[in-house]
Amino acid sequence: MTSQGKKIIEFFIFHRNGTCLCHLDKFEEQNQIINKVINASSNKETQHRYKLIYGVLFTMKSFVKTLSPLKNLDSLKSFSTLNYKLHYIEFLNGLRFIFISTPNTSDLGEELRNIHKYYYTTMISKNVFYNTEDQIKNEMFLEKVHKYISQLNKTLK
């Protein structure tokens, strides 16, 4: 997989309780932007995958914290396998933003922060009608994030 270009494959937002609120992929295809979580409620395999991703994050955070000489520092930013790299950031409100990318992609923590700052905060958290535990259905948010990630993929190559 080393010959593959650098790119973001998937994007997730998890609530602090482990619920997946947003899942986007296929960033080259602009014709249909869908939050896959909305259609996943009846798909047990997809729900199981979300639980596994959240469980891996929980376990890796605990593992890193246990091994770290600075016990109060939460320092998990990413981890890699031969097939993918997971980029991770957790915010004070408990939200967890995740990219899954090709393994040779450099750190994307700043890009995750940008999605939170410029899109999530302005379009989701400031919306008084949005319940923070609900799946994200805001079409403008999904479209903007999709476009941002598509643009990132063009610059990562």
* Structural domains in the chain, sorted by start: 8-156 (3.30.450.70)
User: 79 - beta bridge partners?
Assistant: 86
What pLDDT tens digit does each residue of the chain (157 aa) get? 444 688 999 999 999 999 999 999 887 766 667 888 877 777 889 899 999 999 999 898 888 888 877 766 667 889 999 999 999 999 998 999 999 999 999 999 999 999 999 999 999 998 888 888 889 999 999 999 999 999 999 998 6
Alpha-carbon distance of 114 to 120, in angstroms, equals 9
Beta sheet of 96-101, edge-to-edge order = 20-25, 8-14, 96-101, 85-90, 78-80
pLDDT at 108: 96
Name the token pair of 17: 């309780």
Q: 111 near 152, Cβ under 8 Å?
A: yes
